[in-house]
A and B are shown apart, each in its own frame.
Chain A
Amino acid sequence: MSSRDLILSRVRTAVAGAPDAPRTRPRAVPAATGGQTAERTVELFAERVADYRAVVHVAAPGEAAGVITAALARRAAERVVVPEGLPKEWAHAVRAHLGGGAVGDDPPLSAADLDAVCGVVTGCAVGIAETGTIVLDTGPGQGRRALTLVPDYHLCLVRAGQIVPGVPEAVAALDPVRPLTWISGPSATSDIELNRVEGVHGPRTLEVVVVR
């Protein structure tokens, strides 16, 4: 008997005669923070992202380019990855500031190349207010997963319309066929005497711009 058949038959024997275990609960428990105004949802998202010690800005649409430029200047960033499909005005702001220092990922950069750049500027798929989480799905303006992993600095742009109240709404909005990365603050460890240290292997600095 193959191990596959063996395991399946062990399972069947184990549960034979066990009472049925139907699912009776209503699905989608709405987020506790649901039912708020859009304005409040955006505020909550910004607060919760900041709780993770990420840098957060909330900008009017016309201000986004200026916020991006100022952020890159503060970092003294020279080479930054700009993935395909980043909304024009944002990509333009990066290019206007860095010129040739704004690099694309086509042909794909090697891991060593990514290790050498100063950072990456991306959009996202969904923002979650309740938990201060950003979800990337490798869609337009986000690039493949390594782009937001290897560089030490991640500047992420979130449109207010992408922010949902809670985890259930995010799960419903996302497509599991795409590889997803849920990001809640910069990478961190508490392994040394439970002291939180930001930045182990992922980007040590996460900066988020919410564009209304």
Chain B
Amino acid sequence: MSAAFLGMPAFPRNAARAVGDSQLRFNLRKATRTIRGRRAAVVGELPDWEELRAAGKEIKDHTLRHLDRYLLQMEEAVTRAGGRVHWAADADEANRIVAGLVEATGETGVVKVKSMATQEIGLNEALAARGITAYETDLAELIVQLGDDLPSHILVPAIHRNRSEIREIFREKMGEWGRAAPEDLTDEPRALAEAARLHLRERFLSTKVAVSGANFMIAETGTLVVLESEGNGRMCLTLPDTLISVVGIEKLLPTWQDLEVFLQVLPRSSTGERMNPYTSTWTGASEGQEFHLVLLDNGRTTVLADEVGRQALRCIRCSACLNVCPVYERAGGHAYGSVYPGPIGAILTPQLRGAGPAPSSPPGGGAPAPAIPAPSGRPASATAVPGGRPASAIPAPSGRMPASATAVPGGRMPASATAELDASLPYASSLCGACYEVCPVAIDIPEVLVHLRAKAPHPRAERLAMRAAGWVLDRPVRLARAQRLSGRLRRFVPRRLPGPAAAWTDTRDIPDIPAESFRDWWNRTDGGTR
């Protein structure tokens, strides 16, 4: 990702802009509905789904409760297997470690596998500032990077682009980064994928350093696990001489056997497949490779300290909650102003960022950074792009929300803007509960949202409204009843609330209340399969 979530205005304004963008809305609706249907079908195939879900939750809760022990076990196992383990308290430290490791190899370019952790810490921008170019290799990330754009979905980050836009991006930009797209490139998905294959192949065969994240780490054995579809992950994990993996500390699982649960629930929840095309696992230095593991905190321990909020750390980033979220479907990923969009982003981003500066600066000093810096990417990355132009020079394709238009070149996002965005994120939900029902590790997102709303500073009226919501959410029956009631009353809902609550609706449209609540719909249609 070469662009950054800079100067993003708060969720309601972003969302209002995105909702007016018909291309984005169309693509999102198609995407979320398609994946939703596939997911329901393959989840329905497993008679023990609920047991798997409960097991996934329990394994994650247990690991988090004893995270110190499992981190030490992981460190020991990786070291025993010939890898090196580094600890990064915050984003700046992680970036410094990775940049230092790359510089030690004498290389100036790295290939990257899509990784949310490295997006979270703004690694590409940090590397660019030290003269190292990070090449994204996931097709969607490539589209995003070439388009100098921001990802909008965890799983399909380029979902806001249609095929003709992708063709234009490839034709205009591929040549600046490496092998150019063929002159006669059509907008057939097959032709576009072929262009990406050729463009990236020479990069894979020649680049000596790779940076990845991981879906899971196994403490018992020191094994890392990466699930993917395209094979770019395998290329990055296998071919380069040096592999650096940046992994959040919450990705641990205690034992190898625990994978039996997660390899069943993740692909089915994520892409709606029985299994994703490729999963790679490796332990320490494999096949003569040099291996470094960077364990990343960056606010996770702050989340862990919150009794209610810590369940967000169970998240395995499957994106199922995005695909069922009525707010996400309308607003799109960019409105969340973070690498973590959708319902999970609404609870994770404010918590991670709420960490603020590290309590004590790690050795090596440096200005403490916010946990998720809104990275100061654009100018730095523009210099890293061979022949790159500033983002503003790219014509924004028809009607798409130009993410870059909101960017503040040159600086970190003002703290006040981040704070405003984060304070508004817990409201980016209608609390319908659909996200909880599909979550493979049973994260009660509505519960955390309500909890965060109570913690965030906001006007009294809002606090009162939310306390009422909390009361309703306490009891699923009350929620169901309230939703059904509001469904019946929706004709009478005004666009603006009267009295003291007007301040709230000044910046937030009251969401349309669906005629049928999600719960009712879900039960009636058996998760959309009927």
Interface residues on A, range: 35 or more
Docked pose: A128 CA to B307 CA in angstroms: 39
B270-282 contact mask (Cβ, 8 Å, vs A): 1 or 0: 0101111111111
Interface-lining segment among A7-15, A35-43, A66-74, A87-95: A7-15
* Most chain B CB atoms below 10 A, which of A1, A12, A52, A176: A176
B interface: dominant SS:
helix
Residue of A nearest to B282 (CB): A179
CB distance from B89 to the nearest CB of A (A): 4
Docked pose: A179 CA to B89 CA in angstroms: 29
A32 sits at the interface (CB 8 A): yes
Interface-lining segment among A57-65, A78-86, A155-163, A187-195: A187-195
A201 touches B234 (CB 8 A): yes
State the B residues within 8 Å of A (CB). Answer: 27, 30-31, 34-35, 45-48, 51-52, 54-55, 58-59, 61-62, 64-68, 71-72, 81, 87-89, 93, 137-140, 143, 156-159, 162-163, 166, 189-190, 192-193, 196-197, 200-201, 204-205, 218, 221, 223, 229-232, 234-235, 237-239, 249, 256-257, 259-261, 263-264, 271, 273-283, 286-287, 295, 297, 301-302, 304-305, 307, 310, 358-360, 362-363
Q: Could you say which of B30, B35, B295, B304 contacts A14, with CB atoms under 8 Å apart? A: B304
A7 touches B295 (CB 8 A): yes
Docked pose: A185 CA to B271 CA in angstroms: 14
State the A residues within 8 Å of B (CB). Answer: 1-4, 6-8, 10-15, 18, 20-25, 27-29, 32, 48, 51-52, 111-112, 115, 128, 130-133, 138, 144-146, 149-150, 166-168, 171-172, 176-195, 197, 199-202
CB distance from B26 to the nearest CB of A (A): 10
Apart from the given pairs A182-B263, A193-B162, A201-B201, 4 other A-B contacts in the complex at a CB distance below 8 Å? A6-B358, A23-B59, A184-B275, A189-B193
> Hey, which chain A residues are within 8 Å of B302, CB to CB?
10, 14
B62 touches A197 (CB 8 A): no
CB distance from A24 to the nearest CB of B (A): 7
> Hey, which chain A residues are within 8 Å of B363, CB to CB?
1-3
Docked pose: A201 CA to B238 CA in angstroms: 13
Interchain residue pairs with CB less than 8 A apart (16): A7-B297, A7-B301, A10-B305, A14-B302, A14-B304, A15-B65, A172-B257, A176-B218, A179-B287, A182-B278, A189-B139, A189-B140, A191-B156, A192-B163, A201-B232, A202-B230
Q: Could you say which of B52, B65, B256, B274 contacts A132, with CB atoms under 8 Å apart? A: B274
Docked pose: A202 CA to B58 CA in angstroms: 35
B282 touches A202 (CB 8 A): no
Docked pose: A177 CA to B256 CA in angstroms: 10
A29 touches B61 (CB 8 A): no
Docked pose: A18 CA to B301 CA in angstroms: 14
Q: Could you say which of A6, A32, A150, A199 contacts B46, with CB atoms under 8 Å apart? A: A32
Docked pose: A145 CA to B234 CA in angstroms: 8
The answer to whether residues A28 and B260 also contact, given A1-B360, A145-B238, A194-B31 and a CB cut-off of 8 A, is yes
Q: Could you say which of B259, B287, B297, B358 contacts A171, with CB atoms under 8 Å apart? A: B259
Docked pose: A20 CA to B295 CA in angstroms: 24
> Hey, which chain B residues are within 8 Å of A3, CB to CB?
87-89, 93, 297, 362-363
Q: Could you say which of A10, A185, A189, A202 contacts B301, with CB atoms under 8 Å apart? A: A10
CB distance from B490 to the nearest CB of A (A): 31
A176 touches B193 (CB 8 A): no
> Hey, which chain A residues are within 8 Å of B259, CB to CB?
171
A21 touches B193 (CB 8 A): no
> Hey, which chain B residues are within 8 Å of A177, CB to CB?
81, 221, 283
Docked pose: A20 CA to B69 CA in angstroms: 14
